[in-house]
């Protein structure tokens, strides 16, 4: 029991270090020897837990593939909140884009498991949008969810180039326009008073 717990703890240490270095410096730029040295273990010990760098990359990305926690907040608030969270993340100063897209771009190997995990992440978020849109009664929730996903991805790419968190706010405004066009009332919506018909008081 203690041995299993110790092994799990070491795996977590390796993954935490790999996550920080892979995301901060790049998957190609960081070797297994660098990760082992950072932890203070031998490469052999690391390989006992992850037989290859590819295995470590897959574990690193899988660890980040987590479903959104359930929430009782209104669907509209959750949808627009995704853009608010992105703006806060970009503002941290350590934002380097989407780790999944980064991995696919760096590896340039269509058959690599990283591509499958990246696609799973994007689809997971799109499906999250779709489920919330269906709660709002949107008829073509699938198409709109993809549009929202594209806005998120576009804001991430723009933030890398511009270094400006405000791109997420601009994407939020665009999302609001799409939602209003789908006849969903948002906080920015302003109901115009109905003009009285002739003969009404």
pTM of the complete model: 0.85
Contact 182, 132 (CB under 8 A): no
Residue written as tokens 């073509």? 140
Residue written as tokens 């509209």? 76
- State the alpha helices, DSSP H only, in 26-68: 32-39, 43-49, 53-64
pLDDT band, residue 130 (cuts 50/70/90):
very high
Cα separation, 145 vs 149, whole angstroms: 6
Cα separation, 105 vs 165, whole angstroms: 23
Residue 183 pLDDT more than 70?
A: yes
Residue 77 pLDDT more than 70?
A: yes
> Exposed, middle or buried: residue 136 (CB in 10 Å: 0-12, 13-18, 19+)?
middle
Cα separation, 55 vs 57, whole angstroms: 5
Cα separation, 118 vs 123, whole angstroms: 9
DSSP annotation string for 65-81: --PPPP--S-HHHHHHH
Q: In the prediction, which pLDDT does 200 show?
A: 47
């Amino acid at each position: 029991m203690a041995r299993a717990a110790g092994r799990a703890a070491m795996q977590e240490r390796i993954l935490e270090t790999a996550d920080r270095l892979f995301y901060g410096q790049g998957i190609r730029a960081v070797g297994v020897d660098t990760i082992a040295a950072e932890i203070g273990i031998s490469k052999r010990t690391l390989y006992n837990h992850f037989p290859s760098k590819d295995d470590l990359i897959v574990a690193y990305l899988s660890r980040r593939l987590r479903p959104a926690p359930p929430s009782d907040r209104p669907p509209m608030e959750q949808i627009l909140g995704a853009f608010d969270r992105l703006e806060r993340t970009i503002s941290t100063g350590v934002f380097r884009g989407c780790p999944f897209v980064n991995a696919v771009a760096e590896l340039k190997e269509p058959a690599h498991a990283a591509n499958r995990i990246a696609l799973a992440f994007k689809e997971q978020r799109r499906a999250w949008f779709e489920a919330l849109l269906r709660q709002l009664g949107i008829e073509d929730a699938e198409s709109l969810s993809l549009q929202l996903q594209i806005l998120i991805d576009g804001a991430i790419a723009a933030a890398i180039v511009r270094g400006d968190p405000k791109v997420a706010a601009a994407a939020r405004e665009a999302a609001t326009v799409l939602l209003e066009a789908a006849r969903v009332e948002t906080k920015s919506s302003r109901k115009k008073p109905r003009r009285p018909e002739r003969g009404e008081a």
